[in-house]
């Protein structure tokens, strides 16, 4: 079965490369040599070589061309670059294995279990070179230009990992932004110190120095972050939305377990209300229910009332994205799970570069936010009430007026 899969993979790769070659030759179809012949033509194949893929080793041959014009035209497959030894799927599994606790010396055994005993070429020195490469890639990414970029919404959070030779206050600061076209992107990723203001502020200032001049319209995060103090200093016009997932967890922690299901349902009624007025009514009902017996619970939720309900002033299509920090939580849940039991614990540089590598890989599969076409209205300063444009009425209101 494995051999059949590898044969199928080889055929698919060959077909894809042939399609690349056909497109390449079409570009030079009108180019002729001195004798009027086609200048760029097929010229056999390069020597067969082996690459490692997600289904094991596959033997491939890349076609080559002959350039009769003397211009030095060569065909290089983007699918199979000249020095490719591992497919992208294998490249991406390596940081996962490392985070899982597989040491550099164990990679050959681990990959043999995944890809078969023929998995070769991944010695300890190879893995060490890849780790150094990931660290360099992260450092270069931190210097990239953000000139002309516009991030409408940003999510911020501090993610904790097991880090070698570090106390429990060390964490990784993460910012993910949504561009004006609705695409989610990793915006910031670096080491921090207990999510403090002194950790977040340099990160935000660095983004400004990289060219991010336009302040985000909305920032979403946990209420405990020093991020908010830093944000007010660097991007003072950005509005604040506190994460309902974090807030719900904090509120329930102040209640006995017997009361938690009912309280959770009551909180759900607040942030799932169709209008802000309905949410405020549910808010007051929650306060009256728990104020006498559980004042700390009521204080926990009531002190952030405005920040918890800011999403009502933005398009309703965006609410599912901006009520919580789920865009960060969902991405890092798997990464955090794999590091919680990491034997030996990884260093700060390693965890930063590995997490960066994994998020860069995952980012290719991120979907645009719902209602992304309305981001332009947010940028233009269009006023929204209960998720509806101020110059529009929702359907229910329109029907009532008609009646």
Q: What is the mean pLDDT of residues 71-80?
A: 76
Q: Does 74 or 345 have the greater pLDDT score?
A: 74
- The pLDDT-based confidence of 38 (bands split at 50, 70, 90) is confident
Six-digit token string for 231:
């944000």
- The pLDDT-based confidence of 316 (bands split at 50, 70, 90) is very high
The predicted pLDDT at position 115 comes to: 47
Domain ranges of the chain: 2-67, 88-141, 244-323+379-396
CA distance 152 to 314: 11
Six-digit token string for 367:
């979907």
307 contact partners, CB below 8 Å, separation of at least 6? 223, 240, 241, 242
181, pLDDT greater than 80 = yes
CA distance 185 to 364: 9
Decide if 128 contacts 194 (C-beta within 8 A).
Answer: no
CA distance 308 to 311: 8
The predicted pLDDT at position 123 comes to: 54
Six-digit token string for 383:
């006023």
151, pLDDT greater than 90 = yes
The predicted pLDDT at position 374 comes to: 96
Distances (CA, A) of 348 to 138, 167, 173, 222, 359: 13, 11, 12, 23, 16
Closest residue by Cα to residue 356 from 134, 200, 195: 134
Closest residue by Cα to residue 97 from 109, 87, 88, 85: 109
Distances (CA, A) of 83 to 63, 90, 134: 15, 15, 18
Q: Does 247 or 351 have the greater pLDDT score?
A: 247
- 157-179 tens-digit pLDDT: 988 766 555 555 568 899 999 99
Q: Does 112 or 155 have the greater pLDDT score?
A: 155
Decide if 277 contacts 300 (C-beta within 8 A).
Answer: no
The predicted pLDDT at position 98 comes to: 55
CA distance 316 to 335: 31
25, pLDDT greater than 60 = yes
Parallel, antiparallel, or unpaired: how do β-strands 218-221 and 151-159 relate? Answer: parallel
Rg of the chain in Å (alpha carbons): 27
CA distance 379 to 217: 7
CA distance 119 to 109: 9
Q: 307 in helix, strand or coil?
A: helix
The residues pairing with 49 across neighbouring beta strands, listed in sequence order, are 60
- 328-373 tens-digit pLDDT: 877 776 555 544 544 444 566 777 887 887 787 778 778 899 999 9
Q: What is the mean pLDDT of residues 310-321?
A: 97
Decide if 119 contacts 134 (C-beta within 8 A).
Answer: no
Q: Which residues of 154-188 are buried (b: 16+ CB within 10 A; e: fewer)?
A: bbbbbbbbbbeebeeebbbbbbbbbbeebebebbb
Q: Is the pTM of this model over 0.75?
A: no
Per-residue DSSP letter, 390: T
């Amino acid at each position: 079965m494995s051999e059949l899969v590898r044969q199928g993979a080889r055929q698919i790769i060959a077909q894809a490369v042939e399609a690349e070659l056909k497109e390449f030759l079409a570009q030079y179809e009108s180019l002729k040599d001195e004798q009027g012949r086609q200048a760029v033509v097929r010229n056999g194949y390069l020597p067969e070589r082996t690459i490692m893929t997600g289904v094991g080793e596959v033997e491939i041959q890349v076609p080559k061309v002959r350039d009769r014009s003397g211009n030095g035209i060569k065909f290089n497959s983007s699918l199979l670059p000249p020095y490719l030894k591992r497919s992208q799927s294998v490249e991406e599994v390596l940081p996962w294995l490392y985070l899982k606790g597989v040491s550099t010396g164990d990679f050959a055994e681990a990959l043999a279990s995944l890809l078969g005993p023929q998995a070769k070429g991944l010695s300890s020195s190879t893995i060490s070179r890849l780790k150094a490469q990931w660290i360099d890639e992260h450092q270069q990414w931190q210097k990239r230009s953000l000139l002309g970029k516009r991030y409408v919404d940003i999510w911020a959070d501090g993610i904790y990992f097991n880090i070698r030779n570090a106390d429990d206050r060390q964490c990784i600061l993460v910012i993910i932004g949504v561009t004006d076209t609705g695409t989610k992107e990793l915006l910031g990723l670096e080491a921090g110190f207990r999510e403090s203001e002194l950790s977040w502020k340099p990160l935000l200032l660095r983004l400004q120095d990289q060219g991010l001049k336009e302040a985000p319209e909305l920032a979403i995060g946990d209420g405990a972050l020093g991020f908010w103090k830093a944000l007010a200093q660097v991007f003072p016009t950005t509005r604040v939305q506190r994460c309902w997932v974090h807030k719900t967890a904090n509120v329930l922690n102040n209640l006995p377990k017997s009361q938690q299901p009912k309280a959770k349902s009551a909180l759900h009624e607040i942030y799932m209300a169709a209008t802000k007025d309905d949410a405020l009514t549910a808010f007051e009902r929650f306060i009256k229910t728990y104020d006498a017996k559980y004042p700390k619970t009521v204080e926990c939720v009531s002190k952030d009332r405005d920040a918890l309900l800011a999403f009502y002033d933005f398009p309703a299509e965006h609410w599912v994205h901006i009520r919580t920090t789920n865009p960060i939580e969902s991405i890092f849940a798997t990464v955090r799970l794999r590091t919680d039991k990491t034997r030996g614990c990884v260093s700060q540089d390693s965890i930063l570069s590995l997490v960066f590598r994994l998020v860069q890989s995952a980012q290719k599969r991120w979907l645009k936010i719902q209602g992304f076409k309305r981001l332009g209205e947010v940028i233009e300063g269009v006023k929204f009430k209960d998720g509806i444009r101020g110059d529009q009425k929702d359907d229910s209101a329109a029907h009532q007026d008609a009646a």
